[in-house]
Amino acid sequence: MSNDKDSFNVSDLTAALKDEDRAGLVNALKNKLQNLAGQRSDVLENLTPNVRKRVDALRDIQSQHDELEAKFREERAILEAKYQTLYQPLYVKRYEIVNGTTEVELAPEDDTKVDQGEEKTAEEKGVPSFWLTALKNNDVISEEVTERDEGALKYLKDIKWCKIEEPKGFKLEFFFDTNPYFKNTVLTKSYHMIDEDEPLLEKAMGTEIDWYPGKCLTQKILKKKPKKGSKNTKPITKLEDCESFFNFFSPPEVPDEDEDIDEERAEDLQNLMEQDYDIGSTIREKIIPRAVSWFTGEAMEAEDFEIDDDEEDDIDEDEDEEDEEDEEDDDDEDEEESKTKKKPSIGNKKGGRSQIVGEGKQDERPPEC
Amino acid sequence: MSNDKDSFNVSDLTSALKDEDRAGLVNALKNKLQNLAGQHSDVLENLTPKIRRRVEVLREIQGKHDEIETKFREERAALEAKYQKLYQPLYNKRYEIVNGATEVEGAPEDAKMDQGDEKTAEEKGVPSFWLTALKNNDVISEEITERDEGALIYLKDIKWCKIEEPKGFKLEFFFDQNPYFKNTLLTKAYHMIDEDEPLLEKAIGTEIDWYPGKCLTQKILKKKPKKGAKNAKPITKTEDCESFFNFFNPPQVPDDDEDIDEERAEELQNLMEQDYDIGSTIREKIIPHAVSWFTGEAIEGEEFEIDNDDEDDIDEDEDEDEEDEDEDEEEDDEDEEEEVSKTKKKPSVLHKKGGRPQVTDDQQGERPPEC
């Protein structure tokens, strides 16, 4: 091939970078990579004429396959959309019952307790703490929810997801009642994907939360006593980032193009983004479709069976439960069980995350609130 | 709840383990876990009657949702099967052309008739088609050694199919008769726990029937005897080594009665995930787009994604260092990629391979030594 093709034109790239034209950068990179791919196609140039003719025939067949595949993807997308449409009325009914917009019919056995029921009904509308409870019963999500978060998550009244077409991806929407923590009534999280079929994330974006003064759950206020003998006797206050479910709405971001990033940092960042995506896809694929089963704990049955096969996960659970005194009984039970289970869970996502969770928390996570 | 429910009955589990009755073990575990789940269901017991009634209605709604979801899965499976069926004639045509069972239309150019005829006699179909396709994929090429290539030249087709009981899929590798092993078909089956998630229960591969001295997963070491030793003959020893064909001998979950420590369990899990990644790459990428991988066109899309990750660039460089430096063309490629990588700083987000470098470190600890 000619040398012109081989050379990488730095000025092209420089111009693209200066313009901060991402599309331009993508095109420049793609053009260069096509040339590189062209070199790999030396396979074709080294073939005899007959073999080459056969390869051309094979390429025709491949094109036919790719056309069929495109139709398959269209049909699958239509099928998925059809069923999402069928789910919607059920999600609406769920919302109405959870939030007390619609009352259910009374069953006969409730008659004898009508007085007590009516008294409490005045206080409790719908199903209180429905979404908070559902989230806490999922191991992946419960690791993110702190005790301080629970006060705010009580006001969570619905979670929805929808597809995004341009760019490809999906969005999660968290609907909150008016509450004393933040002004937003909807918090959203979007994931922009590179590829339809694989979880290759390009970027994630979250709503900026409009906290009321002194109510920010992703930061905590530290007060330090001044040193003895110091002229200033007022305590020094300082804000420090801390763990919170609401950090979910400030996802890790890919650095700007002109910022250099070293290998280790890149790897840490990638792990954090994978972890963030795992949370988002858990909410989309498990919590939203089966919120009631998570609320009642029924969904944990199958999950527990899968997760408890992994000793690593048992340890994670123990760590969580040590924070809660009421769970001491469960704690003992889990420890007893873990002694009798020796097989690692194969391919369990959470099992694969333990390494990441452990390292990430130590190095990257804000300190415990 | 009563203490009887809370207690974990070890004798139940012990008898299940001794019987090596996996189903029994599964049932025993499920029963105990249902009791535990029951404790989590204290939520229901603490509700007022009206709220409880609402939750019951919610559960009915959930039941309807789950029914609809079941239909969705059925329809989706039917759709997937429909298209797999449509792909089959194309895969058959591909097989026939690759293996010379069918000749393509268009006579060879007259001017090169003699040369063409001569080479056609030597070369049937498209030689090294599958070997080349596999080598052009980064995930797979890491598994293929130079010694493997001699055997993989005889690979004439790769197929996959679904397995229903237990749920999973199987890969089939069809080989011509060859001087390495007697099998004409090597298979790899993955048994999954769940339909929708890649939760692997176990993987099983064909036992390869190597001809004497041809085993590619082992190498023969000869040691000279110590000076002065009575025995003057060299000592021979076989040692495991890296090979694509280790793919057919996947990591196994240990027997129930064998204890395994935490670190070992984690390493095993990483190996199994890595093995599954290879299998799913073959199933989802190589088989459907074999021609694009053979010609290198498929690398275009992959390259763009991979080269966004500095980590992967380094992996590639490591691979290329092992190749003969005499190849000028490769040197140009290497220089070009180094130049390119200097201008790309963004890490690839969620790229599977990017997530593997940590696992690759395990290769140092766990992998057989280089052949």
- DSSP string of A78-106? HHHHHHHHHHHHHHHHHHHHHTTSSPPPP
Tell me the three state secondary structure of residue A140: helix
Mean pLDDT of B29-36: 57
Q: Which of B70, B352, B343, B50 is nearest to A114 (CA)?
A: B50
- Which chain A residues are within 8 Å of B48, Cβ to Cβ? 116-117, 120-121, 124
What pLDDT is attached to residue B357? 27
What pLDDT is attached to residue B359? 25
- Which chain A residues are within 8 Å of B202, Cβ to Cβ? 346
- Which chain B residues are within 8 Å of A107, Cβ to Cβ? 53, 56
Mean pLDDT of B70-79: 95
Tell me the three state secondary structure of residue B182: coil
What pLDDT is attached to residue B309? 35
Number of H helices, E strands in chain A: 15, 6
- Which chain A residues are within 8 Å of B30, Cβ to Cβ? 301, 305
Tell me the three state secondary structure of residue A129: coil
User: Which segment of A141-155, B150-164, B173-187, B305-319 scores lowest on mean pLDDT?
Assistant: B305-319
* B15: pLDDT strictly greater than 90: no
Q: Which of A66, A45, A150 is nearest to A369 (CA)?
A: A150
Are the beta carbons of A127 and B61 separated by less than 8 Å?
no
- Give A280's contacts (C-beta < 8 A, 6+ positions apart): A172, A189, A191, A204, A248
Residue whose entry in the numeric block shows the structure tokens 């980064």:
B138
What pLDDT is attached to residue A258? 62
What pLDDT is attached to residue B210? 97
A253 and chain B in contact, CB less than 8 A: no
Of A29, A51, A312, the CB nearest to B262: A312
How is residue A5 annotated by DSSP?
H
What pLDDT is attached to residue B256? 67
- Which chain A residues are within 8 Å of B336, Cβ to Cβ? 6, 8, 36
Alpha helices in B102-168 (DSSP H): 113-122, 129-135, 138-141, 146-152
Are the beta carbons of A270 and B354 separated by less than 8 Å?
yes
* B184: pLDDT strictly greater than 80: yes
Residue B283 and residue B137 in contact, taking contact as beta carbons nearer than 8 Å = no
Residue B349 and residue A201 in contact, taking contact as beta carbons nearer than 8 Å = yes
* Residue numbers of A between 254 and 313 with CB closer than 8 Å to B: 254-255, 257, 259-261, 263, 266-267, 269-271, 273-274, 277, 285, 289-293, 295-298, 300-301, 304-306, 308, 310-312
Tell me the three state secondary structure of residue A154: coil
- Give A116's contacts (C-beta < 8 A, 6+ positions apart): B48, B49
Q: Which of B165, B169, B168, B209 is nearest to B186 (CA)?
A: B209
Q: Is the previous residue joined to A213 through a cis bond, with omega within 30 degrees of 0?
A: no
Torsion of Cα atoms, A271 then A273 then A279 then A280, to 10°: -150
Mean pLDDT of B38-49: 69
Residue whose entry in the numeric block shows the structure tokens 């493997």:
B148
- Which chain A residues are within 8 Å of B200, Cβ to Cβ? 346-347
Q: Give chain B's mean pLDDT.
A: 73
Are the beta carbons of A290 and B65 separated by less than 8 Å?
yes
Q: How many residues does chain A have?
A: 369
pLDDT band at B195 (very low <50, low <70, confident <90, very high): low
Q: Which amino acid is at B143?
A: E
Distance (Å, rounded) from C-alpha B19 to C-alpha B8?
Answer: 19
Between chain A and chain B, the number of residue pairs with CB atoms below 8 A apart is 343
Q: Which amino acid is at B108?
A: P
What pLDDT is attached to residue A45? 79
Of A6, A310, A354, the CB nearest to B336: A6
Mean pLDDT of B327-339: 32
Of B55, B61, B304, the CB nearest to A30: B304
Distance (Å, rounded) from C-alpha A308 to C-alpha B81?
Answer: 34
Are the beta carbons of B296 and A87 separated by less than 8 Å?
no
What pLDDT is attached to residue B25? 54
Of B6, B197, B332, the CB nearest to A349: B197
Distance (Å, rounded) from C-alpha B311 to C-alpha A125?
Answer: 53
Q: Is the previous residue joined to B166 through a cis bond, with omega within 30 degrees of 0?
A: yes
Q: Averaging pLDDT over each range in A184-198, B120-134, B175-189, B349-363, which range is the top one? A: B175-189
Residue B213 and residue B202 in contact, taking contact as beta carbons nearer than 8 Å = no
What pLDDT is attached to residue A268? 87
Mean pLDDT by 10 residues, chain A (369 residues): 39 44 53 53 78 93 96 96 96 96 67 47 79 95 95 97 91 97 97 78 93 93 77 79 95 76 83 92 95 92 46 32 32 31 35 27 28
Residue B300 and residue A34 in contact, taking contact as beta carbons nearer than 8 Å = yes
